[in-house]
Amino acid sequence: MEEVTVPLIRDPELIPIADKVLSGERLSFEEGVKLFRTNDLLTLGMLANAVAEKKNGNFAYFNVNVHITPTNICVGTCKFCAFKKKKGEEGAYELTVEEILRKLSVYRERNPGLTEVHIVGGLHPDWEYEDFINIVKQVKANFPEIHVKAYTAEEIKYIAEKGGKSVEETLMDLIEAGLGSIPGGGGEIFSTRVRQKLCPDKITAEEYLEIHKTAHRLGLKSNATMLFGHVESLEERVDHLIRLREAQDETGGFQTFIPLAFHPVNTEIPGASFTTGVDELKTIAVSRLMLDNFPHIKAYWIMLGEKVAQIALQFGADDIDGTVVEEDITQAAGARAGQFIPKDRLIKLIREAGKIPVERDTLYNIVKIYQ
């Protein structure tokens, strides 16, 4: 039989980067861009997986969670968002606190062992400071065993403005009401160029980072996100990652980074298309390699689909998110994944990706290891 010789690393540009990764050295902006530009997907995945395993062993995490979106009525104007509605527009809704509690009760029934509720929604023009605080307060009072992960940095700024309070005071009130941590939404892409184009009214990158750092200083953990695959350049993605890495150097309060794959349906971005499998896997892997100070990288199955999310567990991700149950933001923008994956299925996805499924709570305390 003819001998087949294949170089282990096909892209010679990756050799010095691999040396740095394997010796634990921090990668530069230029190296991040090279990683995005390489076609040597398997080397990229191998390196990211090596880093993930160094940080988390063979574990891949999931949780039993639900999302609740109290309203889609939003004064925001983000062009990538297909979920927002103006007040009075067809399809606009707002839940009362009682409806939120009832939903949570039904979802807990359907989802035994529930440990987390993720609450984010629109910037409702009529809701007052107390209304936002009261949602957290009532949820926590009625479901004390459930961790409340609520309100993106954008919402926190909005709530603070509504109450004429500082971000710090607002966070302190939310903590008193029962807030457990902050989700990563609203990060989008930090580039001013892109924010001007897609969401000029939104908090700036600096504000997003400052709100997260304030939360960290108050003892809260948070997650970070990056919405990718719309009009941003690869350089802008790497810049986003480096700015998160710098913020994490300061406070260490970020738990997980979640790259969010852009969904184009019903959005206001002309010509935008769905992200591809290769781009999604590259983005997961480059995130793992650049964010050397983030403990976890999440492959959010709602946006990646179950198949790519599973493969991402070999490309640097160590978390697949949770059971979810109801999800509205991606659904409005053409989601192809469903909204609910039962726990057994998450365990199967993780096992078949060659990892040990670990059920966690929001703060990564282990609930159960499925050996």
The least distance separating ligand V47 from the CB of residue 156, rounded to whole angstroms, comes to 13
Sequence-separated (6 or more) residues with CB below 8 Å from residue 211? 153, 156, 157, 167, 203
**Complex with ligand V47: residue 20 or 93, whichever CB lies closer:** 93
180 versus 186: smaller Cβ distance to ligand V47 = 186
Question: In angstroms, what is the minimal distance from the CB of 182 to ligand V47?
Answer: 8
| Smallest distance, ligand V47 to C-beta of residue 370, A | 21
CA atoms within 13 A on the CB side of 159: 27
For the bound state, the minimum distance from the C-beta of residue 268 to ligand V47, rounded and expressed in Å, comes to 10
CB of 60 to ligand V47, least distance (A): 15
Nearer of residues 28 and 305 to ligand V47, judged by Cβ: 305
- Which residue's CB comes closest to ligand V47? 185
Of 245 and 263, which has the nearer Cβ to ligand V47? 263
Identity of the residue, 64 or 303, whose beta carbon is nearer to ligand V47 in the bound complex: 303
- Our CB check for ligand V47 shows the closer of 21 and 333 to be 333
Amino acid (one-letter) located at 97: V
What are the C-alpha distances in Å from 281 to residues 187, 261, 305, 339? 20, 10, 12, 21
Least distance in Å: CB of 235 to ligand V47? Answer: 20
> Nearest approach, Cβ of 298 to ligand V47 (angstroms)?
7
Least Å distance, CB 19 to ligand V47, is 33
**Of 9 and 265, which CB lies nearer to ligand V47 in the complex structure?**
265
**At its nearest, how many Å lie between ligand V47 and the CB of residue 6?**
37
3-state DSSP of the chain: CCCCCCCCCCCCCHHHHHHHHHCCCCCCHHHHHHHHHCCCHHHHHHHHHHHHHHHHCCEEEEECEEEECCECECCCCCCCCCCCECCCCCCCCECCHHHHHHHHHHHHHHCCCCCEEEECCCCCCCCCHHHHHHHHHHHHHHCCCCEEEECCHHHHHHHHHHHCCCHHHHHHHHHHHCEEEECCCCCCCCCHHHHHHHCCCCCCHHHHHHHHHHHHHCCCEEEEEEEECCCCCHHHHHHHHHHHHHHHHHHCCEEEEEEEECCCCCCCCCCCCCCCHHHHHHHHHHHHHHCCCCCEEECCHHHHHHHHHHHHCCCCCCEEEECECCCCHHHHCCCCCCCECCHHHHHHHHHHCCCEEEEECCCCCEEEECC
| Closest alpha carbon to 322 in 303, 300, 338 | 300
Q: Which is nearer to ligand V47, 198 or 353 (CB)?
A: 198
**By C-beta, is 32 or 184 nearer to ligand V47?**
184
Q: Which residues lie near ligand V47 (CB under 6 A)?
A: 80-82, 152, 183-186, 188, 223, 225, 227, 258, 260, 262-263, 267, 300, 303, 321, 329-330, 333
